[in-house]
Structure 1
């Protein structure tokens, strides 16, 4: 990790003058006691990473510094002159220019050259870079002879820019002083707002992070100044009903109690600003304003556990920790307030694959918020979850990570991926890829499953796109032998019993030994045969019978096509009308229902109105448009009651979908009987 400028300067002061006190540092850098404590903690984290002793602070406010710190760091202190300290980078000049424009009027090039102490040409170049910087938020820098330089655009976006620039400037040397000078902020204004923020924290029984507390006073002062000048946010951005009942709204009233003429939309904005501030600690975790948030986080964790093959310990503690972060993130994401500088947060190489699995698990949160989770927010979630797993001694780095590479289209690839994940539940499956995607794949993995030969140094296992049961048995034995050096059934019962004894009390050791032996040494082939006897032999011809086939020339819409296709199953009682409604409501969320040219398999969940496993087929001479990307002639409604009973028929259907000749023959058939003959070919 790297120290920020403020922490570096405090460390330099302590090394050059160990007798300095907390009060001296607070006064010198205009810090609160907590802000100084935050910097000391960061310094100690950095020292710990450097294998050096931490700096201790006495009750009297003095510091105790181990001699090893002086020995190791004294020689590293640069002998920089004051002039060197004032040299600004291009980015820093851009931030200062933006701050000047946001907080001052009638600015000319002369103001910039004087403040930045650079030439006119340098300022003109910096203004171009400043334009690139603000354009990320759809803003524009314009010059007017009468008004000077202005930043134009939606006020909501200008506020986001303001918060971002304050954060950037505070990380510079003497950043707080620079902001006050550029924006004409007086010290007593900062003190007043800090006092009000302290009252807010007490009222809310929370503590904002020190970084947010450092930014808040400058942001609030400059926002209030913009309001006075008539720059008001658009009221349509913020939902009054959602924010007005929050404790943060009461806190806003506390901050503004003696400030007149603040419009309601601005009170809403400041409430939103408080809601989006990261929280370090909270006495009461409540979902008063965000129903179902904790449940969505729990669902996200369960999806993650399934994908990462990991069991999270002390789950409730992690849930509460995530809730502290996600509650403000909810408002940041919903109202597009994720800060530009947050995007710079990146995942370490150690957590790349973990981050990928977290991204794949955020769907419950996205459904609750109604927005895609930004990269910066998922990155922070990855760090929280990754840190928790490290604490419990778990890591996906120790697990076998697999990918599936299939050249036969999204639907076939997805089915293959699902089957292999069930076949190897101990492996972490990262992705299903096309061959072109595989060539540029960046994540780390151990093995590849593919129906085609690939150029790779990793372990490659050739597997059919549609795995028959016998091939599954062979493939599992082959893979386990090559990856772990044993076939799964080769397990020593006595060794297993001894392991169990170390962690649990065994009531009936003889019976446990017998049951373990039966399970481990079961005949996989016999088990398959038994499963085949237990499950109905539902082939494609048994589900799509002539009575379940409908012929039409054309239909007016996709919805109509679904209802016509499903009608035979509704009339026979295999499905209920609500199952058809569920298919229609879900169709735009599942492009994978298209399994080949001109053919789709719409379906919903078993609990949405399926009474018995069944299928029906609608043939259209003129295709119906599906999601603007496909023209569909063959619609097969699938009603499944579990994960097994329809799979045989589905596999046969997938093979039929892969045949251009037979698929086109069905599209141009004149009768149900002709179609059924083709279906029979694939039902052996």
Structure 2
């Protein structure tokens, strides 16, 4: 990530004169408060990407700069401006593309004249330009009659146009250069800027400075293409999704005196407004995109679980994410994200964080209906990474672990899940096969595996199925080797006594209660002895002939869950809301399929479980679960906590991992035969 010229100058000013105030900088560089604020945010994003602390700004407009910034900047200042006096190879390619998008009947002489280079250089640049536009499914073709022309679907041309406009405006004197290349009058740009400012007021938001600069040019170039007959003819934008938005009304306001603009083009310009980044919005709601806030909240919860962190000021972070993700939603849905040209690559320090953010975007992907592109995930990583840095958390300081298991997906997933619960303070990056481990690229500290592996990192041998005593032994072994101590139960009274020695306690009882809640905040945070009145339950205790159902088929996966759950609802073990929760959440759970033809739908204990229980549905004809699986055995698991059902679950996983008995379960001719298979795995 490089700083733009303005932000670079401001940072250099702060390094040379840290006592300067905001007003002094605004006056010296002729900046508005808004422009300074935007550059200040860019500087802090850049500092965070370099693993440096952000610069704070007081209400009086003074700056607080950590001394590590001065040390680092004096030795290695790489925030070089993007603008260059002489065009680089890439910048020549952008110029050629813009000429092709804005002009007709271009010859080799036009390019040599504009770029001031030889014909051979232009020919090489044209080849590079062809490679560049190929990512957009476009081609550059030459004919004697028309010269060089760009060919392809107009929607894809527009996507390229938006991207290259931004790139050219980054150049030194980029706006003047773009006006010359495309024959744009400055008066046109100024008029559109006025109209866009009115639109900001109408929408009660502020676009980022970059977008304010680029939008008038983008709109002008789009309108030029429409005037020249290069229109979007068939378009998959949903009229009803966009026509009710405030952005559509804003488009109408921008184009109030433009004649003959087809509906498809008005929708495209509306989409351009919807996909434009904003840095402030007075009325930030999710009216236009139902369930977006819930999807973001689910994403953060998955991230917190994976990264072993607690995100502070959650509501504030959610609002910040909503501000970014609302335009990203439309970019992703309508394929307007950048193609293989991520503006801000992830630094080495943020690679593990980026990996965990990527794995947590599933709820957002489910809402949009497609995977989140790399470029959008990168921005989410920077945002969440900045938030963690602000609250003093660092993934670098946490122990990062991987699990390597050669025994198949179902056993590997169970091992991963068990170890993550056993070591809640560790970040578990991935569960890998031996072959995947040999080519694994992320940085990690320790490896858990049931077999010996060749690695220079700490390796802990652990059985695929861990009994209670083994867990206790393994946790002691790992903690002793990593930290030099053996973990033991923390006594709240002892902590209170220590605090009393060093501080006055205003409310001892409340402090004691809070410490107790904190220490015991996660039932899975330590290896606990099972209470005497809650003995371990075997699989055959839960899956009995009364809870086993056989059917010819099920029309849908949802119907299969309903049928499988019926015995538990009738016995009062679960409520209908638990069934609804399983149906709503099934596509977000990567652990639901535990082996070929076998799945275990489940939900959280607080979503309608009265008693720990299981039920089984066998289908002669498999039911489709997503596009990847056909399921014949559906086993509903209803847990009241994270302990009582574990023994039965481990026995079930062993069964699912044994091909002979798994097939016996799938092809059994009666509930009695199914129960006989289950009993073989139900012993201590």
**Which TM bucket (shorter chain)?**
0.7 to 0.9
Which SS does the other structure have where 1:530 is aligned?
coil
Deviation at 1:417, TM superposition (A): 1.5
User: TM-score, length-normalised on structure 2?
Assistant: 0.79
Deviation at 1:219, TM superposition (A): 0.7
**Aligned mates of 1:571, 1:252 — CA distance in 2:** 56
Deviation at 1:546, TM superposition (A): 4.3
Distance change in 2, residues 1:39/1:451 (3 Å): closer
| Residue 640 of structure 1: aligned partner | 638
**Aligned mates of 1:220, 1:485 — CA distance in 2:** 64
| Residue 505 of structure 1: aligned partner | 506
User: Does residue 153 in structure 1 map to residue 128 in structure 2?
Assistant: no
Distance change in 2, residues 1:45/1:407 (3 Å): closer
Is the contact between residue 305 and residue 312 of structure 1 (CA under 8 Å) also seen in structure 2? yes
Deviations 1:37-87 (A, max 9, x none): 9679979999999x9xx9xxxxxxxxxxxxxx9xx99xx9xxxxxxx9764
| Residue 177 of structure 2: aligned partner | 178
| Residue 16 of structure 1: aligned partner | none
| Residue 534 of structure 2: aligned partner | 534
Deviations 1:643-678 (A, max 9, x none): 444332221122223334444555676665555444
Deviation at 1:538, TM superposition (A): 3.3
Deviation at 1:558, TM superposition (A): 7.4
Distance change in 2, residues 1:658/1:425 (3 Å): same
Is the contact between residue 206 and residue 279 of structure 2 (CA under 8 Å) also seen in structure 1? yes
Distance change in 2, residues 1:499/1:279 (3 Å): farther
Is the contact between residue 564 and residue 636 of structure 2 (CA under 8 Å) also seen in structure 1? no
Is the contact between residue 492 and residue 515 of structure 2 (CA under 8 Å) also seen in structure 1? no
Which SS does the other structure have where 1:456 is aligned?
coil
Deviations 1:86-112 (A, max 9, x none): 643322221111111111112122222
**Aligned mates of 1:662, 1:574 — CA distance in 2:** 28
| Residue 17 of structure 1: aligned partner | none
Alignment of 1:490-501 (within 5 A): 496-498=495-497, 500-501=499-500
Cα RMSD after superposing both structures: 4.4
Is the contact between residue 404 and residue 448 of structure 2 (CA under 8 Å) also seen in structure 1? yes
Which SS does the other structure have where 1:478 is aligned?
helix
Is the contact between residue 574 and residue 614 of structure 1 (CA under 8 Å) also seen in structure 2? no
**Aligned mates of 1:289, 1:600 — CA distance in 2:** 39
Is the contact between residue 493 and residue 513 of structure 1 (CA under 8 Å) also seen in structure 2? no
**Aligned mates of 1:584, 1:317 — CA distance in 2:** 31
Alignment of 1:662-677 (within 5 A): 662-664=661-663, 673=672, 675-677=674-676
Deviations 1:247-280 (A, max 9, x none): 3223222322222222222222222212221112
**Aligned mates of 2:7, 2:618 — CA distance in 1:** 70
Distance change in 2, residues 1:246/1:566 (3 Å): closer
Distance change in 2, residues 1:397/1:591 (3 Å): closer
Q: Which stretch shifts more, 199-208 or 127-136? A: 199-208
Which SS does the other structure have where 1:639 is aligned?
strand
**Aligned mates of 2:293, 2:42 — CA distance in 1:** 31
| Residue 614 of structure 2: aligned partner | 614
Distance change in 2, residues 1:207/1:570 (3 Å): closer
Aligned residues: 634
Which SS does the other structure have where 2:258 is aligned?
coil
User: Does residue 218 in structure 1 map to residue 217 in structure 2?
Assistant: yes
Distance change in 2, residues 1:550/1:497 (3 Å): closer
User: TM-score, length-normalised on structure 1?
Assistant: 0.79
| Residue 117 of structure 2: aligned partner | 118
Deviation at 1:534, TM superposition (A): 2.1
| Residue 100 of structure 1: aligned partner | 99
**Aligned mates of 2:571, 2:489 — CA distance in 1:** 49
Alignment of 1:350-369 (within 5 A): 350-369=349-368
Is the contact between residue 295 and residue 367 of structure 2 (CA under 8 Å) also seen in structure 1? yes
Which SS does the other structure have where 1:345 is aligned?
coil
**Aligned mates of 2:259, 2:374 — CA distance in 1:** 39
Gaps of 5+ in 1: 13-20, 55-68, 77-83
Which SS does the other structure have where 2:464 is aligned?
coil
| Residue 466 of structure 2: aligned partner | 467
**Aligned mates of 1:23, 1:661 — CA distance in 2:** 79
Which SS does the other structure have where 1:150 is aligned?
strand
| Residue 316 of structure 1: aligned partner | 315
Alignment of 1:473-484 (within 5 A): 473-484=472-483
Alignment of 1:252-401 (within 5 A): 252-340=251-339, 343-401=342-400
Deviation at 1:490, TM superposition (A): 6.6
Deviation at 1:473, TM superposition (A): 1.7
Distance change in 2, residues 1:529/1:550 (3 Å): closer
Which SS does the other structure have where 1:528 is aligned?
coil
**Aligned mates of 2:163, 2:679 — CA distance in 1:** 65
Deviation at 1:33, TM superposition (A): 10
Q: Which stretch shifts more, 495-504 or 505-514? A: 505-514
Deviations 1:580-627 (A, max 9, x none): 78877877766744434x54134243678867512335385x877766
Answer with 1 or 2: which has the greater Rg.
Answer: 1
| Residue 79 of structure 1: aligned partner | none
Deviations 1:132-190 (A, max 9, x none): 11111122222344333222222222111111111111222322222111111122222
Q: Which stretch shifts more, 87-96 or 556-565? A: 556-565
Deviation at 1:122, TM superposition (A): 2.9
Is the contact between residue 95 and residue 169 of structure 1 (CA under 8 Å) also seen in structure 2? yes
Which SS does the other structure have where 1:224 is aligned?
helix
Distance change in 2, residues 1:315/1:679 (3 Å): closer
| Residue 545 of structure 1: aligned partner | 544
Is the contact between residue 156 and residue 234 of structure 1 (CA under 8 Å) also seen in structure 2? no
**Aligned mates of 1:512, 1:329 — CA distance in 2:** 43
